[in-house]
Amino acid sequence: MLICDGMADRPIVKLGNRTPLEAARTPNMDKLAKRGICGLMDTIAPGVPPGSDTAHLALLGYDPFEVYTGRGPFEAAGAGIELNPGDIAFRANYATVDDALLVKDRRAERVQGTKPLEAAVGQIKLRGADFIFKNTVGHRATLVLRGRGLSHEVTDSDPHEIGKKVLRVRPLLQAPERPGLIQAILTGGIRRFVGRRRRAAKTARLLNDFSRRAHEILKDHGFNVERVKKGLPPANYLLLRGGGVVPHLQPLQARFGIRGACVAAAALVKGVCRMAGMNAIDVPSATGSVNTDLSAKVMAALKALETNELVLLHIKGFDEASHDGNAAAKVKLIERVDGALKPLIKAADFIVLAIDHTTPVTVREHTSDPVPVVIAGPGVRADDVHAYGERAAAKGGLCRIRGKDLLPILSDLMGKSKKFGA
């Protein structure tokens, strides 16, 4: 399963009203489209721009509307923390604040080498919950709360803007409005509301205590004293955001009888795959250029195919080109990726080529435009689509499907699905 992050686009005038995918020379992807069945896919739902995490949840057969409450759990799983359903997890940033707690830099100038800070913050103990804190890459980290009576329904401490003061974490819940209120009282909803609110208030208090303790530890830490000496902004605050509760996801193995692995550099994607019970394969060498990164990842995916029934290969770069608004760079990258995929297309029994979301270079953000998808392999009802592109796929035999239907379709083609009924 090849997922090209943000490769889909909209027609661009400079490209002769073609999309980058339509404009690029992609003989391998086109060959795949020719021997497979094509279609359009709303990764989440029509009109809903997907995030990376929600998109991959859907691509692995889960309903993001049911299981997703925030990015935190997937960051934490991506960082390799063993999570339990019910844990509350947050994305954290090492940031720079001044004495008045005004944010000077949300990433402490993309601080590196924060291992000593991780160890110091990891010592924090507070009554009411266990805290698990772990660095990921650079200024990024993740915080997990484990215990009874906790909630993800709290606000961020990250003001998301430079110059603003760090925010107190607060319970997110509002009492139902008047019409709903009467109904809520009648149906016992108020008692549930009060319980939720109490858990959220406890969690907010814990997070505020944690933030204060972390700030005290960080601001006086030798690592930061050293940075200040060098004229660098100290990593003296942990900004929290994206709180979510760890859902119970039935693993792929239990659901489809499929042993799966993923090859992905993005922590969020890795996190989703891990929570789906897949083995996330690290490709440490793949941090260089797009080219070396890709061939190392393709090699890793080929190797993973020897011991797994499903390998998800997440290919980055398109999304970055789109965020930069660079159509020409996107076309070039698509052509390079097309060549790199050839060995994988040859090796796998079934191939799914898909995209997690559209990122138009004209918009520079994820949009909801459906993405082209092709499934190739034995028994597939190959259609007469001969090119892999947004508009070509619309004429394919899959018509228009949802992201969460993709894996069940593939699983049945692989002979792994069970009949519903007699």
Q: Which of 160, 165, 346, 381 binds a second copy (CB under 8 A)?
A: 381
CA dihedral 219, 239, 156, 274 (to 10 degrees): -130
Strands 279-281 and 260-263: parallel
Residue 55 interacts with a second copy (CB under 8 A): yes or no: yes
Give the residue with the Cβ less far from a second copy, 341 or 413. Answer: 413
All residues at 6 or more sequence positions from 372 whose CB lies less than 8 Å from its CB, including other chains: 8, 21, 38, 39, 40, 41, 354, 355, 388, 389, 390, 392, 393, 394
Give the residue with the Cβ less far from a second copy, 164 or 381. Answer: 381
- Cβ 64 to a second copy shortest distance, Å: 7
The site string for a second copy over 72-91 (x = CB under 8 A, - otherwise) reads --x---------xxx----x
Strands 260-263 and 310-315: parallel
Residue 3 interacts with a second copy (CB under 8 A): yes or no: no
80/275 Cα distance (integer angstroms): 10
1/20 Cα distance (integer angstroms): 21
Window of 167-175, 284-292, 319-327, 373-381 that interacts with a second copy by CB under 8 A: 373-381
Give the residue with the Cβ less far from a second copy, 171 or 242. Answer: 242
Largest CA distance in the chain: 74
Residue 62 interacts with a second copy (CB under 8 A): yes or no: no
Window of 124-132, 176-184, 203-211, 309-317 that interacts with a second copy by CB under 8 A: 176-184
Strand ranges, E, within 58-170: 88-97, 103-105, 130-135, 140-146
Site for a second copy in 104-163 (CB under 8 A): 148
- Cβ 200 to a second copy shortest distance, Å: 15
Around Cβ 189, how many Cβ atoms within 10 Å? 14
Give the residue with the Cβ less far from a second copy, 265 or 294. Answer: 265
Residue 240 interacts with a second copy (CB under 8 A): yes or no: no
- Cβ 368 to a second copy shortest distance, Å: 4
Residue 64 interacts with a second copy (CB under 8 A): yes or no: yes
Cα radius of gyration (the chain) = 23
Give the single-character DSSP code of 13. Answer: G
Residue 195 interacts with a second copy (CB under 8 A): yes or no: yes
Residue 168 interacts with a second copy (CB under 8 A): yes or no: no
- Cβ 50 to a second copy shortest distance, Å: 6
Window of 104-112, 123-131, 299-307, 374-382 that interacts with a second copy by CB under 8 A: 374-382
Residue 369 interacts with a second copy (CB under 8 A): yes or no: yes
Residue 180 interacts with a second copy (CB under 8 A): yes or no: yes
Give the residue with the Cβ less far from a second copy, 320 or 412. Answer: 412
Q: What 3-state DSSP class applies to 216? A: helix
Token pair, residue 343, equals: 């060995």
- Cβ 13 to a second copy shortest distance, Å: 10
Give the residue with the Cβ less far from a second copy, 136 or 236. Answer: 136
Residue 366 interacts with a second copy (CB under 8 A): yes or no: yes
Give the residue with the Cβ less far from a second copy, 226 or 324. Answer: 324
Q: Which of 293, 281, 296, 282 is nearest to 320 (CA)?
A: 293
Q: H-helix or E-strand containing 314?
A: strand 310-315
Q: Which of 251, 257, 339, 397 binds a second copy (CB under 8 A)?
A: 397
Residue 16 interacts with a second copy (CB under 8 A): yes or no: no
225/35 Cα distance (integer angstroms): 61
Window of 100-108, 152-160, 339-347, 406-414 that interacts with a second copy by CB under 8 A: 406-414
How far is residue 290 from each of residues 136, 295, 337, measured CA to CA in Å? 21, 9, 9
What is the size of the binding site for a second copy (CB under 8 A)? Answer: 76
Window of 167-175, 291-299, 318-326, 388-396 that interacts with a second copy by CB under 8 A: 388-396
Token pair, residue 212, equals: 């204060």
Token pair, residue 358, equals: 């559209």
265/285 Cα distance (integer angstroms): 11
Q: Which of 37, 8, 3 is nearest to 344 (CA)?
A: 3
